[in-house]
A and B are shown apart, each in its own frame.
Chain A
Amino acid sequence: MSDYFSLYKTMLLIRRFEERLLAEFSTGKLVGTTHTYIGQEADAAGIFSVAGADDVIFSNHRCHGHFLAYGGDPYRLAAELMGRATGLVGGRGGSQHIQWRNFYSNGIQGGIVPVATGMALVEKAQKTGNIALVFIGDGTLGEGSLYESLNIAALWTLPLLIVLEDNHYAQTTPSEKGVAGSMTGRFAAFGIPVWERETADVLEVRLAATEAIQRVRSGAGPACLLLHTYRFSAHSKGDDPRSPEELTRIRQFDPLNVHAKRLPSAEIEQAETEVAPVVNDAFARADADPFPSLRDY
């Protein structure tokens, strides 16, 4: 099934891209920080397979997977991460601050949610039929501006989908130490319906995303897609307090393995063969590109 294949390929592209990224850090080609999406690929692949082409996306610090699933160019992303003039934003933004078409990201937890709310307002005012999607993590439930936005989005019936990816940790802080009470209850208080899934299955994510997006697009106001998931790598680089046992346990929920069972082995090989040169080419081309200079401005 080509549809299953393309979901798999999207997830594989994210996985191989992020693995390569981490490898490039050890060779010193990359500086600064990065937050990889390894383990969470089913979320982005599922959501972007059903999001509208003109929907507006606001992503967070962990944005590479979202961007690749959105259809962004791996080469321009690699160039941005390597600080090249050809990067998505000319090397000015780096890993957490990218922009392309209707895709935006920023590295301030919570602060992006009111911005996405304003974007949703514009789509509603201009009757485009598009919606805004904003990505947050469990740790971002601690930020006040999130709740200001939920209140406003609900009061004004705005077409906003909040995608809450609960990977059980905020940097090193487990959600038991960062999130009191109930996650869904937070949205319920504003009358915002929640689609909640605990899954590494891209098809389940896709189904829930379809329903949530449909609801938001219908004009009924904001909704939340709450996805419980796992990140397999460190928060950024080398900041992982989790035990080897815990890492082994969560690696059972690998979205690639879950979905691979549906594909013939030839297609799995085909996906590898198609993705490998894309990733290689992205990093190799980016590596040959010039660094930006202040003189250019």
Chain B
Amino acid sequence: MVENIQIFQEYDAILARQRGREMAKQLGFSLVDQTRIAISISELARNILIYAGEGEVEIRMIESSGHKTGLEIRASDKGPGISDLEMALTDGYTSSGGLGMGLPGTKRLMDDFEIRSDVGKGTSITIRKWLSS
């Protein structure tokens, strides 16, 4: 189960979070977890639109070595990148007059949060949520 959504405009960000919610539901995630996942996808996809203009969101089912099932989302773009990751992950920090909640909030909602960014090359953020069985 893999889904690739190209992010060019607002509707794509909405579509991505809807697909994420549907996949999470299919995998048996609770309504609260589905919502945690949908919010996170929404934040990452909107960041792509605001800061990079375009990019993609990939959502896939994964399995851990311990046979746990999870959902992995990778949001990547070839935008300007982030020079100070620590700053970007601070509650309330924004370079665009936003709320500055997207990245730190997403990190709180997910089980795993990995970010790679190269200034001038782009940003790739991978998040995971595991099904607790």
Q: Do A and B bind each other?
A: no
Interface residues, chain A, CB within 8 Å of chain B?
A: none
